[in-house]
Structure 1
Amino acid sequence: MKHFLLAITTVFYFSFLTNLKAQEQTFSNPLLPSGADPYSTYYKGYYYYSNSIGGDRLQLRKTKNLANLKQGETKIIWQPPINTKHSKELWAPEVHHINGKWYVYYAADDGDNNNHRMYVIENSSEDPFQGEWKFKGKLATPSDKWAIDGDVFSYENQLYMIWSGWEGDKNGQQDIYIARMKNPYTLEGERVKISSPTLEWERRWQGGPEVYVNEGPQFLQHGDKVFIVYSASGCWTDHYSLGLLELQGHDLLNPDQWKKHPQPIFTTSEENGVYSPAHNSFFTSPDGKEDWILYHANDNPGDGCGGKRSPRMQKFTWNADGTPNLGIPVSIKEELQAPSESK
């Protein structure tokens, strides 16, 4: 009898642990109550996460699994000196680990949007939550035009930055530009325009300012395929969506080698109650076996560009032709399996 009770107890105990583990391995969106422009970097067992928090400072979060982002360690890492050209409207920070140092790239201005430019800070510590963050300066090509949403990546052992900018000095259209980098804090040569909002779905401004938008570019590579995923139509509209550029050669600075796909690849799902899903980034699961998209979206039509945007994530796959298949934005009511971890 004693052995029978022990066996039953053991079965219930392991069943309890299994159910508990299953609960720990699921999550639902959003990852945080609010936060636009989500980005993460995985380094030595931790994700370091950033998003726009508004105002005059930059913040990092640290977690072993992005499904547990709410419980992650949080730290304000940078607040620029007041009354400078980069002291206000800090937007879309991205945290990167390059050549043994940490960098955060972000857009900022002096309170006047016309003066938005890209800036970068650096930290030599092994852990970006430790050490000192130092201001490295502005990232600009000789033309020094309006710039936001910078993304930095390496392709064939060369660093590049892509961003959203104006052709001239007045708002009206945002294009996607690219330039080589001399080092992680210096652009090299002239900028090259590789995308403009020319398609009907990219030019829906829905009663807001009549501005046509390509922004939030993100580098994505899969095998020998190279893509840039970008956001288009105004964030103030319910039509804010993701589009796709595909490289048709090896010269990233040749606009003719970038093919634009005619339709958006990720867009509003009224059925699932997800509106304006865009300004995204990508990451892999802790075990490196799954591909995931991070993005922000609204729960209701008309929520626009304000603080109601919240970060979300979901797994994605690849089409037979090698292009990303992002699927449909999932409902906040749906339970999802957390990114897979090493056994």
Structure 2
Amino acid sequence: MGVHQSEINGVKPLIEQRADPFIYRHTDGCYYFVASVPEYDRIEIRKASTIQGLSEAVPAVVWRKHETGMLSANIWAPELHFIDGKWYVYFAAAHTSETNEGLFDHRMYALECGDADPLEGEWVEKGQVRTAWESFALDATTFEHNGDRYYVWAQKDPDIEGNSNLYISKMSNPWTLTGKQTMIAMPDLDWERIGFKVNEGAAFIRRGDRVFIAYSASATDFNYCMGLLEASADADLLDAASWDKSPVPVLTTDELLGMYGPGHNNFTVAEDGETALFVFHARTYKEIVGDPLYDPNRHTFVTELLWTEDGRPDFRASVAGLQLPHEEASS
């Protein structure tokens, strides 16, 4: 495959060859970055005082896959969270297999670090985050809302056609679900079923009296795209009826911008502590040789999250005006 420009709308990515990006701004003012690496064999964390600084930050490898067993292949989509004074990484992993039959039999896991610096501290495996089924599961995220901690993930229900739906549950601790588990979205629209029938990669954001979950759909080639769920901020988030799904995708491939297969996003905040930022991955070319999952060129982009007049995230406008956040001038 030849050399490709890794730019969208003339803007270079924040970090090349990092898919499923996740950026967290901690109370120390620093930004922390995790993502899937092309080898799918480890979890790295980067730290910098600015968003732009993440591009040059030296990654620290905090965990590597096992040689055998269920934690030995396809380490996907880590997220880093700080909960009750400790660090947690959520990720998905599969197992090695001579016939490759198990390579996509993922389960979700949690790591814990009680040290102040997650790049240098000791990480402990807390085990599998167990759900109602033993089936393909991945792309977990967590958030606190109105005094409760929630966990949202993608999973295959053995009784439902398709690859993965989105589910939500409360948590009794950072690695244990409690109470009912509710399906809040399934790939029932045509644009969610291209190549694979997929809803995955959930990311939560609140604005005013509404909450939103952005997610990704379809195969991981140029058909990959984003959808949006929304609910009232005071609604019961465990009630599927509380959530409304956008009937159309909110972000898709845009050949004019040079953006292909955008998705698996998250949200963070700019250095002013207020401006929301949209973090996502995308390729900068359409044609892929072989399985898209093994094409390494899904790059991390970051831009200001813009909003529509009626208060919804405007992903298309955010990307159309793509501009990587600059470091604030020092006084």
TM-score (normalised: structure 1) = 0.84
1:41 equivalent in alignment to 2:54: no
Is this contact kept in 2: 1:145–1:169, CA < 8 A?
A: no
**Secondary structure at 1:201's aligned position in 2?**
helix
Equivalent in the alignment of 1:208: none
Larger displacement relative to structure 2 (108-117 or 121-130): 108-117
**Secondary structure at 1:314's aligned position in 2?**
strand
What is the identity, as a one-letter code, of the residue corresponding to 2:118? Answer: P
**Secondary structure at 1:256's aligned position in 2?**
helix
**Structure 2 vs 1, CA of residues 55 and 114 (structure 1 numbering), >3 Å: closer, same or farther?**
closer
Equivalent in the alignment of 1:153: 143
Equivalent in the alignment of 1:67: 52
Equivalent in the alignment of 1:31: 14
**Secondary structure at 2:164's aligned position in 1?**
strand
Measured in 1, the distance between the counterparts of 2:307 and 2:108 equals 32
Measured in 1, the distance between the counterparts of 2:268 and 2:202 equals 15
**Secondary structure at 1:191's aligned position in 2?**
strand
Equivalent in the alignment of 2:99: none
Measured in 2, the distance between the counterparts of 1:29 and 1:92 equals 22
What is the identity, as a one-letter code, of the residue corresponding to 1:123? Answer: C
Larger radius of gyration: 1
Q: CA deviation at 1:265?
A: 1.3
Equivalent in the alignment of 2:35: 51
Task: Identify unmatched segments of 5+ residues in structure 1.
Answer: 1-26, 206-210
What is the identity, as a one-letter code, of the residue corresponding to 1:63? Answer: A
**Structure 2 vs 1, CA of residues 340 and 121 (structure 1 numbering), >3 Å: closer, same or farther?**
same
**Secondary structure at 1:137's aligned position in 2?**
strand
Is this contact kept in 2: 1:316–1:327, CA < 8 A?
A: no
Measured in 2, the distance between the counterparts of 1:154 and 1:173 equals 27
Alignment counterpart, residue 273 of structure 1, candidates 241, 258, 276: 258
**Structure 2 vs 1, CA of residues 337 and 148 (structure 1 numbering), >3 Å: closer, same or farther?**
closer
1:314 equivalent in alignment to 2:303: yes
Alignment counterpart, residue 170 of structure 2, candidates 163, 180, 202: 180
Within-5 A mapping of 1:283-302: 283-302=268-287
Equivalent in the alignment of 1:89: 74
Is this contact kept in 2: 1:233–1:239, CA < 8 A?
A: yes
Is this contact kept in 1: 2:305–2:318, CA < 8 A?
A: no
**Secondary structure at 2:52's aligned position in 1?**
helix
What is the identity, as a one-letter code, of the residue corresponding to 2:260? Answer: Y
Alignment counterpart, residue 234 of structure 1, candidates 207, 210, 219: 219
Measured in 2, the distance between the counterparts of 1:177 and 1:254 equals 11
1:197-240 CA-partner distances (Å, limit 9, x unpaired): 111221222xxxxx21111011111122111100011113x121
Is this contact kept in 1: 2:31–2:54, CA < 8 A?
A: no
Measured in 1, the distance between the counterparts of 2:328 and 2:142 equals 26
Q: CA deviation at 1:170?
A: 9.2
Alignment counterpart, residue 326 of structure 2, candidates 314, 338, 342: 338
Measured in 2, the distance between the counterparts of 1:339 and 1:282 equals 18
**Secondary structure at 2:198's aligned position in 1?**
strand
RMSD of aligned C-alpha atoms?
A: 2.2
**Secondary structure at 1:173's aligned position in 2?**
coil
Structure number with the higher helix fraction is 1
Measured in 1, the distance between the counterparts of 2:236 and 2:329 equals 36
Is this contact kept in 2: 1:274–1:297, CA < 8 A?
A: yes
* Identical-pair percentage: 36
